[in-house]
């Protein structure tokens, strides 16, 4: 409960690339869920053809930063939320075109509150873009250091080091399936060959 205002909003939305969905992403979703009855989890960069270079975030468009498909990330998110006790009716996982936020209204209810964590200028820019489209934005954290990053998890995966402790069990299952199917896949992405 947050200041006695549990489920203050009907719909809330969190978003990210989730490459992969790690424990800090899960915490972000759980904090937002405390404030809304139903949660939309938007996955950015859902389609490689939508990806654009962003001056605010130099790496988000690079192949090595996006090894997991939309479906794989959706499975990570869904499994993680179900493992946390969410009912399927409590959340939706959708594509989230942050590169063109005017399109977000086709994926997220217009009255949803968009929850953001602000770690850098990129998050400030995303909040600005959403507000410019008329969406309500609530900042959950500002200026806090990131504890875990997708870059860190991907680096450990590519180096063959321990990474499981940084992701929810559902994410670990999906990643293991990817590695079993094609053990070289993450290395191909790291080289930018895929």
Residue whose token pair is 């060959």 = 193
pLDDT (tens digit per residue) in 30-64: 999 999 999 999 999 888 777 665 665 555 556 56
Q: What is the mean pLDDT of the chain?
A: 86
Convert the pLDDT of each residue in 154-168 to its tens digit. Answer: 999 988 899 999 999
Q: What is the DSSP letter of 92?
A: E
**Quick check: bond before 15 cis, omega within 30?**
no
The class level of CATH for 9-191 reads alpha beta
pLDDT tens digits, 58-117: 555 565 678 999 999 999 999 999 999 999 999 999 999 988 888 999 999 989 999 999
Report in angstroms the alpha-carbon separations of 43 from 25, 47, 74, 76, 167.
12, 10, 8, 11, 17
Backbone angles phi, psi at 14, to 5 degrees: -120, 155
Q: Which residues of 106-118 are buried (b: 16+ CB within 10 A; e: fewer)?
A: ebbeeebbbbbbb
Q: What is the DSSP string of 45-66?
A: S-SGGG---BTTBTTTTSGGG-
- CA 54 – CA 113 distance, rounded (Å): 24
Of 112, 89, 79, 80, which Cα lies nearest the Cα of 13? 112
Alpha carbon distance 191, 194 (integer Å): 8
Distances (CA, A) of 13 to 34, 65, 97, 129, 136: 12, 23, 13, 15, 10
Burial label for 154, CB within 10 Å (0-12, 13-18, 19+), is buried
* Three-state SS at 182: coil
């Amino acid at each position: 409960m947050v200041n006695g205002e549990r489920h203050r909003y009907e719909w809330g939305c969190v978003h990210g690339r989730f490459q992969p969905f790690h424990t800090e992403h899960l915490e972000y979703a759980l904090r937002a869920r405390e404030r809304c009855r139903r949660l939309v989890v938007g996955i950015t960069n859902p389609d490689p053809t939508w990806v654009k270079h962003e001056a605010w975030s130099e790496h988000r468009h690079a192949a090595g930063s996006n090894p997991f498909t939309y479906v794989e990330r959706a499975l990570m998110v869904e499994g993680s939320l179900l493992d946390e006790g969410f009912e399927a009716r409590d959340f939706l996982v959708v594509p989230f075109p942050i590169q063109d936020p005017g399109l977000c209204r086709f994926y997220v209810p217009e009255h949803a509150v968009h929850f953001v964590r602000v770690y850098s200028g990129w998050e400030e820019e995303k909040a600005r873009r959403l507000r410019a489209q008329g969406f309500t934005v609530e900042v959950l954290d500002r200026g806090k250091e990131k504890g875990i990053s997708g870059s860190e998890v991907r680096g450990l995966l590519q180096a063959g080091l321990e990474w499981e402790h940084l992701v929810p069990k559902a994410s670990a299952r999906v990643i293991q399936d990817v590695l079993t199917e094609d053990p070289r896949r993450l290395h191909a992405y790291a080289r930018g060959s895929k």
